[in-house]
Structure 1
Amino acid sequence: MTLLFFAILPILWLILALSVLKMAAWKACPVALLLSLWASVNFFGLPWDYTASAVLEGTALACWPILLIITATIYTYHLSVHTGGMERIKAMLTSVSSDYRILILLIALGFGGFLEGMAGFGTAVAIPASMLAGMGINPVCAVAVCLVANFVPSAYGSIGIPLVTLSGIMGTDPVQLATYVALQVSILGMFCPFLMVAIAGGGWRAVKGVVPVCLAAGGSYVLTQLGVSFFLGPELAGVAGAICTMGAIVGVVRFCPPQEDSYVLQRDDAPSVSKEQAFFAWLPFVLIFILLLLTSKLVPAIYDSISQIRTSVLIYKGEGGSPYTFHWIATPGMVIFFATFLSGCLQKTPARDMALVLRKTITSLRPTFVTIVSIIATAKVMGYSGMTTTIADHTVAATGLLYPAIAAFIGSVGGFITGSATSTCILLGKLQMDAAIAIGATESMQVWIAAANATGACAGKLIAPQSIAIGVAAIGAVGRGNESQLLVLGMKIYLPFIILLGLLVYFGSGLL
C-alpha cells in the first residue's frame, strides 16, 4: 500500500491543488512533475539519467506536435477576430432564426462544436456563451447549454489532438480509437440537443415544436463524427460533425420553422453580410479543412511523400524506450499554420499584423505551454518508472473483470481535475491500457477501454472547475454564486451520463 500511495501521489496532488486549493493548472502541474520525479527515483528505482530522458521525451511530445497544433489553431481564431471574420460569422448564425431554442442549438452545439474541433481549450464554451448571453438569453443557462454541447466534440478538440496523443501513448491505430470514441459518445450525443433545449426553456415542455430540429442536430453530429472517424481518423471528425449539424439545423428550420412565439427573442437585427465578406470570414477554416483532407491518408500520393520528411531519435534510454519520430510537415499543426497564413495573404492582411497576432497568441498560451509540458513529462515518468502499472494492478485487483465499468469514471476524474480531454488522455491513458492488459483484454478491448478514458473525460468536463470558470468569465458573472449553481446543475447531468457510459463500456467490451 505504501508503494501505491507514492504511485498516485502526483494525481492526489492535482486533485488537491486544482479542486480544493484552486491553484492554476500551470502552477500545479510542475509540482506534480517534481513529485513524480522524486517518487520514481526513491521508491521505484528509476535511475536519474533514465528519469531525465523520460522528461525529455515528454517535452518533445508536448512541443511536437501537441503545442504546435494548439498554437496553430488558437492563432487561426485570433487572426479571424483581428480581421473581423468572427463577427461576420456571428451575424450569419444569428440571422437564421429568432427562436432562442434554435439559436442555442446552432450556436452552442454547431458553432461551439466547430470551435472545439478547430481550437478547443475553452473557446467552445467562452465564445458561444458570450454570444448567447449577448442576445438576451439567461447568462447562466447560456453557459450550461455550452457545457452540455461540449460533451459531444471534446474528444476531437484541436484537430483531434486528445485522440492522436492517446493513440501515440498506446501505440495503436488512431482510426480505431476515434471510431470507438464516436460509438461511445453517440447515444448521449443524440440526447444532448433535447437536454440543451430543456435547460434553456425551463423544462421539457420547451422541446415541443423543435423535436425535428433536435433529432437532425444530434443525428447529423454523431453520424458524421462516426463516419469521419471510421474513414479518416480523429483530426476532422469534430469539425465535420459541427459543419453537418449547422447545415442540418438550417435546413430543418427552413422547412419546419417553430411556431411558438413565447420562445422568440426580441433583439436588434443582425448586420447584413455580403457574399464576399462571408467567403473571407469562413476562408481560414475552409482552407484548413481542405488541406487537412489533401494531406491525409485519403490522398496517398501526397501523404506518403510528406511523411518521408521526418527524423527519428531515441530519447528514452531505459527499457521500453523506442525512437520518437518528428514529422516535420505531415502534422496538422504545420498544415493549419500554412492555411492560416495563406488565408491572411488572400485577405490582404498586412504581414506585420499577422506577426503581431501570432506574438499575442504565443504570449497568451504561455501558461498552457507550462501545463502541457509538465503533464506529459509527468505521464512519461510515471509510465516508465512503473507508477502507472502499480496503480493499474491495484485497481484491477479491486475490481477484477468489472474494470471496464469504471474506466469511463476514471477518465471523468481526469476531466474534472484538468478540464481537458488532452491532459486526461496524457495523464491516465497509460494507466487505462495497463489495467486493460492486466485483465487479459484483447487488443480491440484495450482500445475500447482507452476510448472510455476519452469519453469519460468529456463527461468530467461538465463539472470541471476550469470549464465552469471559463464560462462564467465569458458572461462577466464571476463571484456571484453562478459557479456553484452551474456545478449543481452539472452534477445532475454528469451522474446519469457517467453511469450510462459505464454500462455502455462494460457491455460493449463483452462484444470485443
Structure 2
Amino acid sequence: MAWQQIYDPVGNIWLSGLVALTPILFFFFALLVLKLKGHIACTITVGITLAIAILFYKMPALTAVSAGLYGFSYGLWPISWIIIGAVFLYKISVKTGHFDIIRHSISSVSEDHRIQVLLVAYSFGGFLEGAAGFGAPVAITTALLVGLGVPAITAGGLCLIANAAAGAFGAMGIPVIVGAQVIGAAPDAVSAHVGYLQMVIAFIIPIWLVAMSDGLRGLREIWPAIFVAGASFALLLGGTAVFIGPELPDIIAPLGTLIILPFFLRFWQPKHIFKFKNDTQAVTPAVTARACSMAEIARAWSPFVILTFCVALWSLKPVKRLFAAGGPLNWTTLTFNFPGLHDKVLKSPPLTDMPTPYHAVFHLDFISCVGTAIILSAIISVFVLRMKPAVAAETFFETISSLKISIYAIGMVLTFAFLANYSGLSTTLALVMARSGRAFTFFSPVLGWLGVFLTGSDTSSNALFGGLQAATGRQIGVTADILIAANTVGGAVGKMISPQSIAVASAAVGLTGQEGKLLGFTLKCSIILALLCGAATSLLVYIF
C-alpha cells in the first residue's frame, strides 16, 4: 500500500516549514561554524532528515530507508562515475607531462591569472556545461586552474561561481526542456524567458570572478577584458536562447567567448600581471626554454578535444535514441524499479492535481552515461599521449583510491536530497514560499535555488517544483512559462552552494574535508544572485 505525502505535519505551515528547514540549517551550521568535514556533516544531516521524515511526516521507516538507499545509489552511479572519469583524464595529462604544455599555451594568451580564470572557469567551463553537465565542468576546470597555479580552494570556489553563467542551459538545454514538459509549455517560449534572465547573470559573473580573485584593483586593471567576456557571453547566450532555442546557448556563447576574448587579448594586455601567491611556476624548463610547436600544443590539448567530441556525441538526439526504450542498444542499460520505494509514495495536491505515484526507477546506463563518454576519452588519450597501458591502469586505480571519501560524501549528499524529496520535506518549504501571494514572482527563483540545493540538479529542481510554480502562477495571474524560467535561472545560481556540487569540486582537487571553506567562498555570491533573479523576475512580470 502506498503512503501519501503530508506537507503540513505540524498543522501550521509556518511551523512545518521550520521543521523542514532544520536539516538544512544544521548542514550550514556544521560546515561553517562547527567546521566539520563534509562527509561527517552530510552523515549527521541524513540522520536528522531520516528522523524528521519518520517522526513528523509519518513516512514508513522502510520506505524512508529505501529512499536514502536510492539516493546513495544515484550518488555512485552516475555522479561518482563522472567524477572518476574527469579526474582520471586530468591525471593522465599531468603524468604524461602534457599539462605543462597546456599551462604554457594558456599563458601565451595571457599570464594573468584573472584572465585565465575568465578563459578556463567561465568560458571553457561554460562550454563543458553545455555539452555534458552533471558535475564534469566543475571537476575539470577546477583541476585545470589548480594546475595553472591557482590555490585549490580559490579554484574550486571560482569554478562553482562561474558555472552559474551556463547552468540554466546545461547538458544541451535539458533543464529548460524538462521544465517546459512539466508545465505543458513550448520549450522555445521558456527558453526565451530564461535567456532574458540568464543574460543578466552571465554578464555579472565575470565581474564577480575578478573581484573574488583580486578585489577592486582587479576590476580597475582588467575591466576591458571583463566587459568583452561578459558582453560576448551574455549577448550570444541571450540571442541563441530567444531566436534558436534551448539546446545551443551554452555551446554558442562559450565558444564565441573563447574566440572573441583571445582575439581581443592580441591587442590589449593588462599593464600589471596578477599571479596568486602560491603560484609555483611549475612549467618545465624544456617548455619554457622554447616556444612549443603547434603539434605539441595540439597533442597536449587533445584529451580535452577528445572529451568535448565524446560528450557532444553522447548528447546528440540520434545517439540518445539508440539507448532509449525500443532502441537497438537499449539492452546495455539495466533498468529496474527501486525496491521498497517505486510507487510506494504518493505526491499530493497542490504539488499535483491529484494523488500521483512517485516513481523510483534506477538506470544503470553502462554505455550511455556521460561518465562513460569521459572514461572513453581518457582511454583514447592514453594512446594519443603515448602513456603505457600499465601506468594508465595504475593511474585509474590510484584515482579511485584517492576519491574514496569523496565518493562516500557524494553518496550521502544524494541520500539527503532523495530523503527530502520523497518524504515531502522539500515540498513543505516550497509551499511556505507559495504563501507570499503576488510577491511570489520574487520568490519563484528562490524556490529553484532551494530545489537545486536539495537535488544538485537544475533539471531535477524543475521536475520537482514545476507543477507548484504553475499552480501558484494561476492563483496570482502570472504565466507558468515565466515562473518555470525563473525556477531554472534561480537553480543555476543555487548550484554553487549545492552539497553535491561542492563535493564534486572538493573531490576534483583533493579538498575532501574542506567543504565548509568552499561553501563559505560561494554562499554570499549565491544569495545575492538569487535575490537579483527575484528582482529581475518581478520586473519582467510587472513592468516589462
Q: 2:425 matched to which residue of 1?
A: 387
Q: Does 1:282 align with 2:314?
A: no
Match 1:30 to one of 37, 43, 46: 43
Structure 2, unaligned runs of 5 or more: 1-11, 276-280, 347-356
Match 1:248 to one of 250, 260, 280: 260
Q: What are the Cα deviations for residues 139-196 of structure 1, in whole angstroms up to 9, with x where unaligned?
A: 9998987676454246678x68995999799799997788765553322322343555
Q: Does 1:313 align with 2:336?
A: yes
- 1:57-76 aligned at under 5 Å gives the runs 57-76=70-89
User: Contact (CA 8 Å) 2:198, 2:489: kept in 1 or not?
Assistant: no
Structure 1 residue 92, shift from structure 2 partner: 0.1
Structure 1 residue 289, shift from structure 2 partner: 1.7
Structure 1 residue 345, shift from structure 2 partner: 2.2
Cα-Cα RMSD: 4.8
SS in 1 for 2:88: helix
User: Contact (CA 8 Å) 1:408, 1:501: kept in 2 or not?
Assistant: yes
Match 2:231 to one of 212, 219, 222: 219
For the structure 1 residues 223 and 340, does the alpha-carbon distance in structure 2 shift closer, same or farther, using more than 3 Å as the test? farther
Structure 1 residue 353, shift from structure 2 partner: 1.8
Aligned-partner Cα distance in 2 for 1:222–1:332: 27
SS in 2 for 1:312: strand
For the structure 1 residues 229 and 506, does the alpha-carbon distance in structure 2 shift closer, same or farther, using more than 3 Å as the test? same
Q: Which amino acid counterpart does residue 13 of structure 1 have in structure 2?
A: F
Q: 1:152 matched to which residue of 2?
A: 165
User: Contact (CA 8 Å) 1:96, 1:250: kept in 2 or not?
Assistant: yes
For the structure 1 residues 186 and 288, does the alpha-carbon distance in structure 2 shift closer, same or farther, using more than 3 Å as the test? same
User: Contact (CA 8 Å) 2:42, 2:413: kept in 1 or not?
Assistant: yes
Q: 2:3 matched to which residue of 1?
A: none
Match 1:257 to one of 268, 271, 286: 268
Aligned-partner Cα distance in 2 for 1:369–1:197: 31
SS in 2 for 1:23: coil
Match 1:336 to one of 363, 374, 380: 374
Deviates more, 1:346-355 or 1:437-446: 437-446
Structure 1 residue 284, shift from structure 2 partner: 1.8
SS in 2 for 1:9: helix
Aligned-partner Cα distance in 2 for 1:345–1:471: 23
Q: Which amino acid counterpart does residue 454 of structure 1 have in structure 2?
A: G
Aligned-partner Cα distance in 2 for 1:373–1:393: 27
For the structure 1 residues 372 and 99, does the alpha-carbon distance in structure 2 shift closer, same or farther, using more than 3 Å as the test? closer
Q: 1:324 matched to which residue of 2?
A: 361
User: Contact (CA 8 Å) 1:232, 1:297: kept in 2 or not?
Assistant: no
Q: 2:6 matched to which residue of 1?
A: none
Normalization by structure 1: what TM-score? 0.75
SS in 2 for 1:439: helix
Q: Does 1:41 align with 2:74?
A: no
Structure 1 residue 341, shift from structure 2 partner: 0.8
Aligned-partner Cα distance in 1 for 2:310–2:231: 27
Aligned-partner Cα distance in 2 for 1:365–1:103: 27
Aligned-partner Cα distance in 1 for 2:91–2:186: 29
Match 1:189 to one of 170, 195, 202: 202
Q: 1:456 matched to which residue of 2?
A: 493
- 1:1-400 aligned at under 5 Å gives the runs 1=12, 3-97=16-110, 102-103=115-116, 105-107=118-120, 109-110=122-123, 119-121=136-138, 124-125=141-142, 127-128=144-145, 131=148, 149-153=162-166, 163=175, 183-194=196-207, 196=209, 203=216, 207=220, 211=224, 213-223=225-235, 241-254=253-266, 256-258=267-269, 261-262=271-272, 270=288, 272-298=291-317, 300=318, 302-307=319-324, 308=327, 309=330, 310-315=333-338, 316-318=342-344, 319=346, 320-322=357-359, 324=361, 326=363, 327-397=365-435, 399-400=436-437
Aligned-partner Cα distance in 1 for 2:168–2:97: 29
For the structure 1 residues 174 and 466, does the alpha-carbon distance in structure 2 shift closer, same or farther, using more than 3 Å as the test? farther
Aligned-partner Cα distance in 2 for 1:19–1:155: 27
- 1:356-505 aligned at under 5 Å gives the runs 356-397=394-435, 399-409=436-446, 423=456, 432-433=465-466, 435-437=468-470, 439-440=472-473, 443-445=480-482, 447-458=484-495, 491=524, 497-505=529-537
User: Contact (CA 8 Å) 2:120, 2:144: kept in 1 or not?
Assistant: no
For the structure 1 residues 109 and 446, does the alpha-carbon distance in structure 2 shift closer, same or farther, using more than 3 Å as the test? closer
Aligned-partner Cα distance in 2 for 1:357–1:175: 43
Aligned-partner Cα distance in 1 for 2:288–2:128: 21
Structure 1 residue 26, shift from structure 2 partner: 1.1
Structure 1, unaligned runs of 5 or more: none
Q: What are the Cα deviations for residues 351-377 of structure 1, in whole angstroms up to 9, with x where unaligned?
A: 222222222222232233223322323
User: Contact (CA 8 Å) 1:376, 1:426: kept in 2 or not?
Assistant: no
Q: Which amino acid counterpart does residue 531 of structure 2 have in structure 1?
A: I
User: Contact (CA 8 Å) 2:140, 2:508: kept in 1 or not?
Assistant: no
User: Contact (CA 8 Å) 1:392, 1:431: kept in 2 or not?
Assistant: no
SS in 1 for 2:315: coil
Structure 1 residue 426, shift from structure 2 partner: 9.1
User: Contact (CA 8 Å) 1:65, 1:333: kept in 2 or not?
Assistant: yes
Normalization by structure 2: what TM-score? 0.71
SS in 1 for 2:335: strand
Aligned-partner Cα distance in 1 for 2:458–2:38: 16
Q: Which amino acid counterpart does residue 481 of structure 2 have in structure 1?
A: S
Q: Which amino acid counterpart does residue 417 of structure 2 have in structure 1?
A: A
Structure 1 residue 90, shift from structure 2 partner: 0.9
User: Contact (CA 8 Å) 1:7, 1:387: kept in 2 or not?
Assistant: yes
Count of aligned pairs: 485
Aligned-partner Cα distance in 2 for 1:384–1:144: 30
